[in-house]
Amino acid sequence: MTSSSRWSFCGGIFDWDTAEERLGTLNARAEDPDLWSDPEKAQALMRERQQLEAAIAAIKTIDTGVNDSIELIELGEMEDDAEVVADAEKTLRRLHKDAAKREVETLLSGEADSNDTYLEIHSGAGGTESQDWASMLLRMYLRWAERRGFKTEVLEVSEGEEAGIKSATVKVKGENAYGWLKTESGVHRLVRISPFDSQARRHTSFASAWVYPVVDDNIQVDVSEADVRIDTYRASGAGGQHVNTTDSAVRITHNETGIVVQCQSERSQHKNRASAWAMLRARLYERELQMREEAASAQAAAKTDIGWGHQIRSYVLQPYQLVKDLRTGIESTSPSNVLDGDLDQYMEAALAHRVQGGADAVIEDIE
């Protein structure tokens, strides 16, 4: 089997021959003395070259390791050396895991997958119950980002009246942040014994997560002040000296689409306004990306109602322990681990499912 066929994952997303040809092109362009006349394009080219070099090197390492291990196994069997065979088989198992990881990474090949991302959390109907669930969902994603070494910046939080949050917006910074998180957009359902119910009854709560990429300066998104409504308001906080006494928070509503973004992370209205504009352009760009996908209409419909029939994942804490993704069927009987940020298996399965065109096979409910 040739390297070209071995590493053509998922219908040719990573084709060996194409990758080496592209790397040769990038290397040639990197030697152009005029490259740095446009620093932004130069930096983008160098990032792509670095990522491609790393991917090719990793595949060569795996390929060499597999061939060497096979030779050792053959040699060990010829000489009846069980220890050599066992060591080589152990190496093959490790290489198999490395190859599986690389295969998942080849799924992150979308137009904006390598970008940083915005993550919005919104509570559904149900008051305190859903607001508390929204805060749990926010913590889950912050923990996931921490596990991956990503940086996070909370741009806006709207606190609930009694507990939890009504909404929050977080900027997640890291390699392929948008690519990893994009499949998390949708409604998340929680079933548990309510800590707010004096009769200890079981409650079902809903909250949503929406993800959209931070746009590069090279991506042109046309929007003017005539297209929006801009409101300022006093930023909320925990109380005391941390509460702003001026209207520094900014909310921007796009008239045509109804998209709303807001930022209150800075004490300066000017800085919050700049961040809000960046978020709006990112939302409009994400909307364009979604319109290019076959599942765009289904996702748009899902965003209209945070409730039954629109969920992508269920988290059941009572009467049994189960987290189930309703698109891929991936399950975990350890909700505590999932809620502590152990989400990779769900993201990997959803990425594969999305690339393979299986997004229409969403299970609508779970017992």
Amino acid identity at 3: S
Residue 82 three-state SS: helix
Domain span holding position 124? 117-220+264-355
Q: Is residue 282 part of a domain?
A: yes
pLDDT band, residue 204 (cuts 50/70/90): very high
325, 281: one domain: yes
Q: Is residue 51 part of a domain?
A: yes
Helix axes of 82-105 and 344-355: crossing angle, nearest 10 degrees: 70
183, 291: one domain: yes
Give, as one character, the DSSP assignment of residue 35.
Answer: G
pLDDT band, residue 235 (cuts 50/70/90): confident
208, 340: one domain: yes
38, 152: one domain: no
270-271-277-279 Cα dihedral, nearest 10 degrees: -160
In this structure, what CATH number is given to the domain that contains residue 328?
Answer: 3.30.70.1660
Helix then strand then coil, % of the chain, to nearest 5: 45, 20, 35
- In the structure encoding, which two tokens stand for residue 147, read together? 């596990």
- Taking only the tens place, the pLDDT of each residue in 297-326 is 454 444 545 655 568 999 999 989 999 999
- In the structure encoding, which two tokens stand for residue 141, read together? 């994603």
Q: Which residue has the higher pLDDT, 365 or 135?
A: 135
CB neighbourhood size of 367 (10 A):
6
134, 188: one domain: yes
Least confident of 172-186, 230-244, 280-294: 230-244
298, 196: one domain: yes
- Taking only the tens place, the pLDDT of each residue in 19-43 is 888 889 989 999 988 888 888 788 8
Q: How much is the pTM?
A: 0.67
130, 44: one domain: no
| pLDDT mean over 348-363 | 60
Q: Is residue 90 part of a domain?
A: yes
64, 189: one domain: no
Strand-pairing partners, residue 332, are: 323
3-state helix/strand/coil string of 244-292: CCCCCEEEEEECCCCCEEEECCCCCHHHHHHHHHHHHHHHHHHHHHHHC
Q: Which pLDDT value is given to residue 246? A: 65
In this structure, the chain runs to a length of 367
- Taking only the tens place, the pLDDT of each residue in 158-171 is 998 889 999 999 99
Domain boundary among 56, 71, 105: 105
Q: Which pLDDT value is given to residue 15? A: 64
Q: Which pLDDT value is given to residue 342? A: 96
126, 199: one domain: yes
Average pLDDT, the chain: 82
276, 327: one domain: yes
In this structure, what CATH number is given to the domain that contains residue 11?
Answer: 1.20.58.410
Q: Is residue 227 part of a domain?
A: no
> In the structure, how many helices (H) and strands (E) does the chain have?
10, 11
pLDDT band, residue 241 (cuts 50/70/90): very low
Q: Is residue 247 part of a domain?
A: no
Cα angle at 135 between 133 and 136, to 5 degrees?
65
In whole angstroms, give the CA distance from residue 64 to residue 217: 40
Q: Is residue 230 part of a domain?
A: no
* Total domain count, the chain: 2
Least confident of 150-154, 202-206, 246-250, 315-319: 246-250
